[in-house]
C-alpha cells in the first residue's frame, strides 16, 4: 500500500489573509483547530510595494513583522503539538525572516528547524521579463510554486518561510509533502490549488464579506478556515469548533469566485480547471470539494512589478443642498483658474452624489466633489494643490467646506503584470541544515493559450431563451434578490463572481449577463472597457472580468473603491427584470 493510500487527510488551517489581519487567529487555530499545519498569506501586490519601501529605509526589513508576533505566540504550542508552520511572510527577504524566527525560538529556549524558499526576487536580472522592463522597478517578483515548501517539510522543517509564492502554494506544498504526490499528479494538485484558493483569504470563506447576511446566524467574528485535503486532492472546508461565522456551499462558492479570470486557472505547478469543481454540503460547517481536474502548467511564471509612479493628493469638497452640479462645475473652474491643469500628470474629478431632495438632516443633503491630482513635483501636488482649494473658501460656492484640512502629497505605485520563462528563474530551498537545493520545474504545457469567451446564445441585447420564456412574467427587483456576488482586483482589472441559488437561476444569469449588459449596469466608468464573462455551470456562477477599471492597480487607482471590493454589491443593487418564478417566495 502506498503512502498516499495510508495517510488520512491533512488538516491545514489558515491564520492570515493579508498583512495586517487578526493577530490572535494563529493562537486560536492551534488551540481549537486540531490542525497539522498552519499557513498564512501576507503578500498582496500592494504589500510588495510596502515591503520594498520598508526595506529601503535605514534599518528597515523586507518581511512582514506581524508574522513574528504570531510566531512568538504559537511557537511553543506548535512544538508541543507537532504542528508545522508555513507562511509567505518572507516577502523580499525570506532569509532574513528565517533568521528572525530562529532568534525568537532561541529567546524562548525552543529547538526549531527553520527553512526558507527563495529565487522569486528578480531585481538582480530583469533581462528575461516580458514585456521588457523599461526602468528598474521597486520590486519584481516571480510567483513560485509549492515544491520548495514540500521539500523543506520533507527535510524535517518545523517552520518554512517563503517570498512570493502563489497563495495556493501554502496549501499545495504541505498537501504534496503529506501525501507524497508526484509533480505530474495534475488532478490532485489542482484539487489542492482549489482548496488553497478557498482558505487563502482567511474568514472570507467562513462568512466574511458574504452578501446573504440572513444566513449567518452566528454573528461573532468568523473563525479562520481549515482545509482537510485528501490523498486524491479532494477536500473538505471547515472551521474550528466554537468559532463564529458560517461555512456553507454559498460561502465557499463566494471565495472560489474571488479574484479569478478564465476557468482554466494557470499556476506554477498545475493549471486548475475551475469549471470542473463540484461542491456539496458534508455536515454542519463542512463543504466537500471534489471533481477538480488539472493539466500541466505553462512554461512561464507570472511576475508582479511595482514602480514608484510619482506623487498624488486628494481634496474632497462638500456641496450642500441646491444646485449641486452647478456648484461643482464652478468649483472646478475656479480651482483650475488658480492652478494650471496641464502642470499635473493626471487630474481626476468625481462628483459623488449622496444628496436627496428635502433631506431630513444636513448630512443627507450633501454631495462630495473629490479631486485627485498626480505628478512628479511633490510641492505642487502637495500643499500647492491643497492650499489652492482653500482659496475657494470665501470666494466660491455657497456652503463651501472640505472633509479634511489641506493635505500633503503621498507617493503612489504602479503595478504591472508580466511573465518570465521558467529557465530564467532559480527556485531554491534552503534547508534547516543550511543546504541550498534547486527545485526542479514540473512538466509544462508550453505557452498559455488565449481563451475566448463563448458568445451569448441569442445576442447582446436579449435575455436569450430564458428571457423569452419569462418575458410576460417578470418583476423589476435588485439583481441581488436572486444572485450573490463577490468582487476584487487583479492588478488593473476588476473581477465580479456572480452566483445563483439553483440551476434555473444560473441558466437565467448566464443568458442575461452579457458583456454589454454588464457595461450598462456598471454605468459610465465601464462604458468603453473590455468586459469578459465566463460561465461556471458547476458552481451555478458566471465570472466577470472588467479590464482596466482600476487603471495601474490599487496603489495608483483614483476610484473611491480602488480594489473594487464593493463593485459586486453595487451590481447586486441594480434593478433588473427577473423572471418571477426565480424570486424567493
Q: DSSP secondary structure string, 254-275?
A: HHHTTT--SSEEE-SS-EEEGG
Using DSSP, state whether 101 is helix, strand or coil. Answer: helix
Q: What is the CATH number for 308?
A: 3.30.70.2750
**Does any domain span residue 473?**
yes
Specify if 51 maps to a domain: no
pLDDT at position 582, please?
Answer: 95
Q: Do 402 and 492 share a domain, yes or no?
A: no
Torsion angle, alpha carbons of 129, 134, 140, 145, to 10: -20
Asked if the structure places residue 242 within a domain, the reply is no
Domain end call among 360, 392, 408: 408
Alpha helices in 155-248 (DSSP H): 169-179, 186-199
Residues 486 and 563 reside in one and the same domain: yes
- Residue 493 falls within a domain, yes or no? yes
Secondary structure class of 321 (helix, strand, coil): coil
The pLDDT assigned to 472 comes to 59
For position 447, what pLDDT does the model report?
Answer: 62
Residue 211 CB-density burial (10 A; 0-12 exposed, 13-18 middle, 19+ buried): middle
Instruction: Clarify whether residues 390 and 326 are in a common domain.
Output: yes
Which residues are CB-contacts of 515 (< 8 A; sequence separation ≥ 6)?
453, 460, 531, 532, 533
CB 133 within 8 A of CB 124: no
Domain count for the chain, please give it. 2
Q: Which domain holds residue 510?
A: 464-582
Tell whether 578 is covered by a domain: yes
Nearest to 314 by CA among 240, 386, 368, 245: 386
| Per-residue model confidence (pLDDT) at position 58 | 83
**Any domain includes 75:** no
174's grid cell: 504541505
Domain-terminating residue out of 344, 378, 408: 408
DSSP letter, residue 570: H
Query: Do residues 489 and 564 share a domain?
Result: yes
Domain end call among 408, 429, 448: 408
Give the pLDDT score at 471. Answer: 52
User: In angstroms, how far is CA 195 from the centroid of its own chain?
Assistant: 15
pTM of the model: 0.93
pLDDT of residue 4: 43
Please report whether residue 318 resides in a domain: yes
Supply the pLDDT for residue 448: 57
Residue at 277 is within a domain: no
Q: pLDDT tens for the chain, 585 residues: list them.
A: 344 455 899 999 999 999 999 999 999 999 999 999 999 999 998 899 999 999 999 888 999 999 999 999 999 999 999 999 999 999 999 999 999 999 999 999 999 999 999 999 999 999 999 999 988 899 999 999 999 999 999 999 999 999 999 999 999 999 999 999 999 999 999 999 999 999 999 999 999 999 999 999 999 999 999 999 999 999 999 999 999 999 999 999 999 999 999 999 999 999 999 999 999 999 999 999 999 999 999 999 999 999 999 999 999 999 999 999 999 999 999 999 999 999 999 999 999 999 999 999 999 999 999 999 999 999 999 999 999 999 999 999 999 999 999 999 999 999 999 999 999 999 999 999 999 999 999 999 866 554 444 433 333 333 444 444 445 599 999 999 999 999 999 999 999 999 999 999 999 999 999 999 999 999 999 999 999 999 999 999 999 999 999 999 998 999 999 999 999 999 999 999 999 999 987
Amino acid at each position: 500500500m502506498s503512502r498516499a493510500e495510508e495517510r488520512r487527510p491533512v488538516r491545514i488551517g489558515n491564520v492570515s489573509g493579508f498583512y495586517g489581519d487578526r493577530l490572535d487567529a494563529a493562537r486560536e487555530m492551534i488551540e481549537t483547530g486540531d490542525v497539522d499545519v498552519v499557513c498564512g498569506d501576507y503578500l498582496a501586490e500592494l504589500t510588495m510595494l510596502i515591503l520594498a519601501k520598508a526595506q529601503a529605509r535605514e534599518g528597515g526589513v523586507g518581511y512582514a513583522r506581524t508574522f513574528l508576533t504570531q510566531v512568538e505566540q504559537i511557537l511553543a504550542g506548535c512544538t508541543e503539538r507537532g504542528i508545522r508552520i508555513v507562511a509567505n511572510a518572507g516577502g523580499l527577504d525570506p532569509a532574513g525572516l528565517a533568521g528572525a524566527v530562529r532568534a525568537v525560538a532561541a529567546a524562548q529556549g525552543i529547538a526549531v528547524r527553520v527553512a526558507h524558499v527563495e529565487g522569486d526576487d528578480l531585481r538582480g536580472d530583469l533581462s528575461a521579463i516580458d514585456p521588457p522592463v523599461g526602468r528598474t522597478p521597486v520590486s519584481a517578483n516571480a510567483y513560485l510554486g509549492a515544491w520548495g515548501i514540500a521539500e523543506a517539510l520533507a527535510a524535517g522543517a518545523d517552520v518554512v518561510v517563503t517570498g512570493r509564492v502563489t497563495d495556493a502554494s501554502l496549501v499545495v506544498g504541505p498537501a504534496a509533502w503529506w501525501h507524497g504526490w508526484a509533480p505530474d499528479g495534475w488532478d490532485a494538485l489542482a484539487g489542492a490549488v482549489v482548496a488553497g484558493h478557498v482558505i487563502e483569504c482567511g474568514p472570507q470563506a467562513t462568512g466574511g464579506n458574504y452578501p446573504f447576511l440572513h444566513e449567518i446566524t452566528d454573528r461573532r467574528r468568523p473563525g479562520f478556515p481549515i482545509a482537510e485535503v485528501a490523498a486524491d486532492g479532494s477536500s473538505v472546508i471547515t472551521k474550528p469548533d466554537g468559532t463564529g461565522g458560517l461555512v456553507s456551499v454559498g460561502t465557499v462558492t463566494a471565495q472560489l469566485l474571488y479574484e479569478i479570470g478564465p476557468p482554466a486557472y494557470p499556476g506554477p505547478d498545475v493549471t486548475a480547471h475551475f469549471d470542473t469543481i463540484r461542491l456539496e454540503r458534508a455536515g454542519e460547517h463542512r463543504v466537500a470539494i471534489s471533481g477538480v481536474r488539472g493539466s500541466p502548467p505553462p512554461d512561464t511564471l507570472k511576475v508582479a512589478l511595482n514602480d514608484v509612479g510619482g506623487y498624488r493628493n486628494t481634496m474632497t469638497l462638500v456641496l450642500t443642498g441646491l444646485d449641486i452640479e452647478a456648484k461643482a462645475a464652478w468649483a472646478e473652474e475656479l480651482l483650475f483658474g488658480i492652478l494650471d491643469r496641464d502642470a499635473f500628470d493626471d487630474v481626476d474629478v468625481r462628483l459623488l452624489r449622496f444628496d436627496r431632495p428635502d433631506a431630513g438632516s444636513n448630512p443627507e443633503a450633501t454631495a462630495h466633489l473629490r479631486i485627485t491630482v498626480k505628478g512628479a513635483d511633490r510641492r505642487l501636488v502637495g500643499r500647492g494643490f491643497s492650499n489652492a482649494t482653500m482659496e475657494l473658501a470665501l470666494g466660491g460656492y455657497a456652503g463651501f467646506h472640505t472633509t479634511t484640512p489641506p493635505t500633503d502629497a503621498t507617493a503612489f505605485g504602479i503595478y504591472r503584470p508580466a511573465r518570465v520563462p521558467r529557465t530564467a528563474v532559480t527556485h531554491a530551498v534552503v534547508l534547516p541544515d543550511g543546504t541550498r537545493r534547486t527545485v526542479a520545474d514540473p512538466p509544462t504545457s508550453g505557452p498559455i493559450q488565449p481563451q475566448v469567451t463563448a458568445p451569448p446564445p441569442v445576442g447582446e441585447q436579449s435575455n436569450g431563451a430564458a428571457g423569452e420564456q419569462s418575458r410576460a412574467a417578470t418583476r423589476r427587483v435588485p439583481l441581488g434578490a436572486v444572485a450573490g456576488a463577490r468582487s476584487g482586483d487583479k492588478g488593473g482589472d476588476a473581477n465580479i463572481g456572480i452566483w445563483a441559488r439553483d440551476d434555473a437561476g444560473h441558466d437565467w444569469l448566464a443568458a442575461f449577463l452579457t458583456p454589454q449588459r454588464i457595461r450598462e449596469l456598471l454605468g459610465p466608468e465601464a462604458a468603453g472597457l473590455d468586459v469578459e464573462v465566463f460561465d461556471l455551470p458547476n458552481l451555478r456562477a458566471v465570472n466577470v472580468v472588467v479590464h482596466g477599471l482600476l487603471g495601474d492597480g490599487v496603489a495608483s487607482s483614483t476610484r473611491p473603491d480602488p480594489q473594487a471590493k464593493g463593485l459586486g454589491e453595487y451590481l447586486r443593487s441594480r434593478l433588473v427584470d427577473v423572471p418571477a418564478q426565480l424570486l424567493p417566495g
